[in-house]
Amino acid sequence: MTSPPPDSAAGFTDERLPRTPRAVALVLHGGAEFAEDPVDGRSLSWHRGRRLLRDIARPLDRAGVGIALLRYRVKGWNAGPGVPPPVVDARWALDELEERHGLPVVIVGHSMGGRTAAAVADHPAVRGVVTLAPWLPPGEPVAPLTDKILRAAHGRLDRITSAPATRAYVERAARVCDAEFTDMGDAGHYLLRRMRAWNQFAVDAVRDVIDRD
């Protein structure tokens, strides 16, 4: 496990690899629509990402899949004239993983991390994207997912991001990639209600992506 990076830099705060990995899962945590505060050790979104990583690391290890958690520089998506900061950070992380390991990557993104994952899916190292309660607003581009794999799950009780919007995004993405939507039933946004089901979905979806030809 690596140490948390300085607040001014993106970095991996957790990384676990089996002895002979065949792929890596990159976990992208959530955030806010607008926030320029640095992601520090008090960030609940980052802590949720760490909890997710810890819950799914062991079964993925048995499948020969390593896992790493990226911590963004700042908490917000902060859309503007340039590239959103989480997208910049995620591309940096994918470049790092490709240079270090040269293995296919499956991105596992929660909330804003799901939007970030979809935006960087065109990176050559990415095999596919797994999103949990993602933030995918109407009109979000699907082109980065071309010829990739998308597995998206959303609960009907989510009041932070929209399950119907995720379903609509998956329907559009199916025109350019292998895309599937999973209804998580009476689950909310923060992966607490039906936690085991969320974890199992993530593990199964990562395995599905890696095992596809």
State pTM to two decimals: 0.95
pLDDT single digits (tens) 11-68: 999 999 999 999 999 999 999 999 999 999 999 999 999 999 999 999 999 999 999 9
**Closest by CA position to 2, among listed 64, 91, 93:** 93
| Structural domains of the chain, ranges and CATH numbers in brackets | 11-211 (3.40.50.1820)
- Alpha helices per DSSP H over 102-173: 112-119, 163-173
pLDDT single digits (tens) 75-115: 999 998 889 999 999 999 999 999 999 999 999 999 999 99
Q: Which helix (H) or strand (E) holds 204?
A: helix 195-211
Say which range, 2-6, 80-84, 121-125, 185-189, has the weakest mean pLDDT: 2-6
Pseudo-torsion of CA 104, 110, 114, 117, nearest 10°? -30
The per-residue pLDDT for 10 is 85
The per-residue pLDDT for 3 is 40
pLDDT single digits (tens) 153-212: 999 999 999 999 999 999 999 999 999 999 999 999 999 999 999 999 999 999 999 998
What would the two tokens of residue 205 be?
């979806």
